[in-house]
A = this chain, B = another copy of it.
Amino acid sequence: MYRTHNCGELRIKNINTEVVLSGWVQKVRKLGGMTFVDLRDRYGITQLVFNDETDADLSEKAQKLGREFVIKITGKVTERSSKNPDLPTGEIEITVNDLEILSKSEIPPFTIEENTDGGEEIRLKYRYLDLRRPNVQKGIILRHKTTREIRNFLSNKGFLEIETPFLIKSTPEGARDFVVPSRMSEGKFYALPQSPQVFKQLLMIGGYDKYFQITKCFRDEDFRADRQPEFTQIDCEMSFVERDDVLTVFEEMTKHIFKKVMNIDFPETFPRLKYDEAMEKYGSDKPDIRFEMKIHEISKSAKNKGFKIFDDAEYVGAICAEGLASYSRKQLDKLVDFVKRPQIGAKGLVYVKYNEDGTFKSSVDKFYSAEDLKTWADTLSAKPGDLILVMSGNKKETLTQLGELRLEMGDRSELRDKNKFAPLWIIDFPLFEKDEETGQLHAMHHPFTSPKISDIELLDTDPEAVKANAYDLVINGNEIGGGSIRIHNTEMQEKMFEHLGFTKEEAEEQFGFLMNAFKYGAPPHGGIAFGLDRWVALLNGSESIRDVMAFPKNNAGRDLMIDAPSEIDKQQLEDLHLTVVKKF
């Protein structure tokens, strides 16, 4: 037997018990005729003690243990003379009478501690050692708890978890598919799912009115920071529902998770914000509402005062950063640099200091009187001591830029507390977005999203004005989930594909099976999908989703530990009827 207890459970009440423990050696130290070993497993740390005089041989063996050796010991639980209140097991130690080395360890390439000395690349290469660090463990365990609670909640509501296939059909829609060459069908390929979207709709047509699945999805994207080629989705769908039925269930699920996993209550109903309003107020369709600092339009009072930049602008808007009127020239210059970064792409920034003494100091004093500036301040409900930041230009772009600036100011004022969570629903998204270059419409969510019934008549006359019956769950500026009521009849789906620039043949070839399925009694249905990785990262207070994945890939999509992707042998390529074309 390797253990009677784990390394986190022994307490003062266990004194005099004979125990067997196994684990990893965290630390060995000699102190006043005694040798102490900290033994670690995922449950905790227990102190082992060896008496250098009474059992010299065993003590010497203990002194020779290296970091990360795996050992098994037998001993008796004894009360510590000097207790450690920081450790749950800190009142006891084990007086060891037998020690067996199960497995030696070379010196690990970085320290296995919360604050490690290892950089990300080396930690990914030795991910099995990184996984031993308590903070990484915390994320992995949190992920387990979260999925468990989701499954319990949905199962108790009558949802069935149903597995949909991974080897499916490539559809040149959305992101790029990963494909899988078929050996049996020469020259043909499966594709890995970007989401189970079509299958869950087919399940609705199949009569499984409440479906969910926690499953991997795949996107072959050009890798960006914090994207992974494979990620996990909580995929849900319901039949015979309207939007509010869906929101009710998944708002309850969200509350359930926060309660069960984090012990956080949300007594109130989540706010619901229309897309247009979110853009106007927060410059984002995933607003962080942990803090106010809303965007206000001041076009009316800013224009026609001789300041050409504002006069030429479609839109002038501002935010008010509370208490920052004392910002120095240098601090303000840095803000200008911030909004000029290519990621934001603004041309500049106008500031207005509403000084404590009630006077104004701005970068546009030449054009605006104190009275003018007071009008802005009033629009923004600014108080003396506040800093007003103004941007202008094309309305859509300026709002987005103000949104970014708002988040930056929120960070600077420490208004974005990691331990505070502010969920809300965004509703009434546009059905389409227009490619500015080609003029082609794209589906904002996906081509299966139903328009709002009240807007259907606009489909032919003014498609850009049509709102979708779609919704996102947003928490702390992150899009945690998104979904919609779907189209459930062939005619509407065909019209949708038409608007999206599909020919009849293309639509038929790619989605014929779905449109065919609509012909055999499709129920009204809708659903939602959540990004599990992002959600758990948020709960865990992690910046990166890599922190809550056991074996993540790096930003270039490589698994540094197993060295994948890699070359395959010639025979395998031949069996797949493929050759690699090397570029020179």
State whether the Cβ of A135 lies closer than 8 Å to any Cβ in chain B.
no
Minimal beta-carbon separation of A511 from chain B (angstroms):
9
Q: Which of B103, B553, B583 contacts A186 (CB 8 A)?
A: B583
- Which single residue of chain B is at the shortest CB-CB distance from A208? B42
Chain B residues in 8 Å Cβ range of A179: 180-181, 568, 572, 576
Q: Which of B2, B103, B106, B518 contacts A489 (CB 8 A)?
A: B103
State whether the Cβ of A165 lies closer than 8 Å to any Cβ in chain B.
yes
Residues 549 to 584 of chain A near chain B (Cβ within 8 Å): 549-551, 553, 556-559, 561-569, 572, 574-583
State whether the Cβ of A459 lies closer than 8 Å to any Cβ in chain B.
no
State whether the Cβ of A307 lies closer than 8 Å to any Cβ in chain B.
no
Given contacts A140-B208, A580-B577, contact A166 B568 (CB under 8 A): no
Interface segment, A199-207, A345-353, A423-431?
A199-207
Q: How many residues of A contact B (CB 8 A)?
A: 124
Interface segment, A189-197, A256-264, A267-275, A475-483?
A189-197
B551 touches A22 (CB 8 A): no
B165 touches A42 (CB 8 A): no
B24 touches A557 (CB 8 A): no
- Which single residue of chain B is at the shortest CB-CB distance from A187? B580
Interface segment, A155-163, A312-320, A354-362, A442-450?
A155-163
Number of copies of chain A assembled together: 2
Minimal beta-carbon separation of A554 from chain B (angstroms):
11
Q: Which of B140, B184, B209, B230 contacts A166 (CB 8 A)?
A: B230
Given A131-B202, A131-B203, 8 additional A-B pairs, CB 8 A: A41-B207, A41-B209, A105-B520, A127-B202, A143-B163, A168-B564, A182-B557, A199-B550
B70 touches A165 (CB 8 A): no
State whether the Cβ of A144 lies closer than 8 Å to any Cβ in chain B.
yes
A129 touches B520 (CB 8 A): yes
Minimal beta-carbon separation of A210 from chain B (angstroms):
9
Minimal beta-carbon separation of A6 from chain B (angstroms):
8
Minimal beta-carbon separation of A553 from chain B (angstroms):
7
B551 touches A199 (CB 8 A): yes
